[in-house]
Amino acid sequence: MIVDAHAHVFPPAVRERREALIASEPAFAEIYRNARAAMATAGEVLASMDEAGVDRTVIVNFAWRDEALVDETNAYILDAASRSGGRLLPFVAMPPARGGHGGPQFEDAPQTGHTAGGRSGDPRAKIRALAAAGARGIGELRPESLGWDLADSDEGDLLAWAASAYDLALLFHVSEPVGHPYAGKQGLRIEALASFAATAAGVTIIAAHWGGGLPFYTLMPEVREALATTWFDTAAGHLLYDAAIYRRAIDLVGAGRILFGSDFPLVSQADALARARAAGLSGDELRAIGGENARQIFGL
């Protein structure tokens, strides 16, 4: 089984509103004001999977500020996944937290009358509905792009609760503290993710883009312990690192903690797979990274 743990989709209607969203959504504008930044629909992901020989793909949402846009895109992703026969695994965007800073101020709302695309004043009720509709995770999360602190905020508390209550994986865009700048680089500092992981024991975390270099710090015993349930995906890795990253990361965290990801449509799934297969991995390592680890995480 080949599983791509990181691909992006947008509803056709959102793609058609691209210019308007550039004006209203700062994180979106940072990436998609470049006309060459591709946006894909769920159908285009499925066509890519057929071409590349990918069996399952995690389709992720975006870090939206507008709650109506969160609802619209979540509904599209969940519907596309439900129609895919299990080929698409939906990751949704997080509803905005309602409490004030300094603690989780989320009161349970009635459990009836909520739909995955509906409006609700209670973010826990929305997450409950999203999980019931088939969500497998939340992401791609960019806390700092939205102006909140993962390690100390109502939003971070909400994420930890949602992941624990409904077995949702959390996929974070993690930023490298060094290296060349690029559109969309900022999203989450590695120290913020490590702090969150240390307080969210048992939560399944996926640190995108090789975790921004975080695997190196697992040589520190306390960091290794904090990241016991954190996996690192390879999305767009060749744009950041040379092919030796595979062997170095395996030496640091083991092949069992790495997930193949393409970052489609930024990178084609076929090209991303070809690069993984050319990285000098053993058959067992390639099987683990290419799909076995994701199969176990998601119970496929």
β-partners of residue 141 are 172
**Given this model, what pLDDT does residue 121 score?**
66
Q: Are 261 and 298 in contact (CB under 8 A)?
A: no
Sheet holding 205-207, edge to edge: 3-8, 56-60, 88-92, 137-141, 169-172, 205-207, 230-233, 258-259
Mean pLDDT of 57-66: 97
For 66-78, how does the pLDDT look when each residue is reduced to its tens digit (9 = 90+)? 999 999 999 999 9
Determine what percent of the chain is predicted with pLDDT higher than 90. Answer: 83
For 207-260, how does the pLDDT look when each residue is reduced to its tens digit (9 = 90+)? 999 999 999 999 999 999 999 999 999 999 998 889 999 999 999 999 999 999
- CATH code of the domain occupying 3-298: 3.20.20.140
Mean pLDDT of 47-54: 98
For 255-287, how does the pLDDT look when each residue is reduced to its tens digit (9 = 90+)? 999 999 999 999 999 999 999 999 999 999 999
Nearest one of 75, 76, 61 to 28, comparing CA atoms: 61
Q: What is the distance between the alpha carbons of residues 204 and 228, in angstroms, rounded to a whole number?
A: 9
Mean pLDDT of 65-91: 97
| Average pLDDT across the chain, whole number | 91
Q: Is the pLDDT of residue 100 over 80?
A: no
Strands (E), the chain: 3-8, 56-60, 88-92, 137-141, 169-172, 205-207, 230-233, 258-259
More confident: 5 or 115:
5
Mean pLDDT of 159-183: 91
Confidence band of 151 (pLDDT split at 50, 70, 90): confident
User: pTM of the entire structure?
Assistant: 0.91
Q: What is the distance between the alpha carbons of residues 238 and 234, in angstroms, rounded to a whole number?
A: 8
Which two three-digit tokens encode residue 170?
A: 């959390």
For 117-142, how does the pLDDT look when each residue is reduced to its tens digit (9 = 90+)? 444 468 999 999 999 999 999 999 99
Q: What is the distance between the alpha carbons of residues 55 and 166, in angstroms, rounded to a whole number?
A: 24
Listed by start position, the domains of the chain span: 3-298
Q: What is the distance between the alpha carbons of residues 241 and 276, in angstroms, rounded to a whole number?
A: 13
Confidence band of 176 (pLDDT split at 50, 70, 90): confident
**Given this model, what pLDDT does residue 112 score?**
32
